[in-house]
Structure 1
Amino acid sequence: MDLRPELLPPPVEPARIATIAAAVERIAGLMEAGAPYEAELAALNEDTGTGVTEHDIHTYDNWGSAEAFAHLLVRPSYPRVPDITRDELIEIARRLMAGLGPQSDDPDADWYALLFDTNLTMPSASSLIFDPPGELGPGPSAERIVDTALSYRPIAL
């Protein structure tokens, strides 16, 4: 199934990714050396419109590379699509299940996980894909995962 344009990862110029990745690595190097980094971090946040913290810089490699982390910084933080359909969520789940998971080399993997999580009320819905609970059985289908996520109802306090 093809996804409509608002569900696809927004294109980002490779030069932009390289610039942001270099800034992340430069800030990490300054922090590691005990050198002043605050102005560089503020400039990064200004440039990307984000709120990257010292902790984020220390752990950027959890995303696989500075380039993968840079993709996160230059794309929308919460890609909410109010009229997303069940079929579209199933296609997104299929793409994630096909190997576009966390720590993959594909910079779009994190986009699809964020898109999935943002458009479902279930907290961390993508965890049903990456670490499915036993009650879903072995190797649950994308349909089963999406139906489980859609059936989630928050507890009223």
Structure 2
Amino acid sequence: MPKPRDMDREEALSLVRRLMNADFMDEEEAGEALTRLERGLACPHISDYIYGDPAEPTAEQIVDRALTYKPFAL
């Protein structure tokens, strides 16, 4: 059963924008933001969406992609 999302889109957008702009005091704070996003959006791939996509998507595209993530059972 998928984990429920407990972060709204606006909060996620704010964190993703800060990560994309490197608007954090240090790496620990950025790591905490990524963890909040992973848990809050129930998407373990959010860091890949932010840092690993060569197409450089917008924050809105990243959050929308994370919101559509659905885990699958093996």
The AA in structure 2 aligned to 1:109 is A
Secondary structure (helix, strand or coil) at the match of 1:108 reads helix
Q: Which runs of 5+ in 2 are unaligned?
A: none
Residue in 2 that maps onto 1:77: none
Task: Mark the runs of 5 or more structure 1 residues left unpaired by the alignment.
Answer: 1-80
Instruction: Choose which of 144, 147, 152 in structure 1 pairs with 2:61.
Output: 144
Summarize deviations over 1:90-114 as a string: whole Å, max 9, x none. Answer: 11100110115xxx86141111111
Deviating above 4 A after TM superposition, structure 1's stretches of 4 or more consecutive aligned residues are none
Structure with the larger RCO, 1 or 2 (CA within 8 Å, 6+ apart): 2
Matched letter for residue 45 of structure 2: S
| Structure 1 residues 141 and 114: alpha-carbon distance in aligned structure 2, compared to 1, 3 A threshold | same
Cα pair 2:20 2:50 within 8 Å, conserved: yes
TM-score scaled by length of structure 1? 0.39
User: What amino acid maps onto 2:58 in structure 1?
Assistant: S
Q: Which has the larger radius of gyration?
A: 1
Give TM-score scaled by structure 2 length: 0.76
Q: Distance in 2 between matches of 1:87 and 1:105?
A: 21
> Structure 1: how far apart are the matches of 2:32 and 2:72?
28
2:38 matched to 1:93?
Answer: no
Q: Percent of aligned pairs with the same residue? A: 35
One of 111, 129, 138 as aligned partner of 2:32: 111
The worse-fitting range, judged by mean Cα deviation, of 86-95 and 118-127 is: 118-127
Indicate the RMSD between aligned Cα atoms, in angstroms.
2.1
- In the alignment, the residues of structure 2 paired with residue 143 and residue 88 of structure 1 have an alpha-carbon distance, to the nearest angstrom, of 12
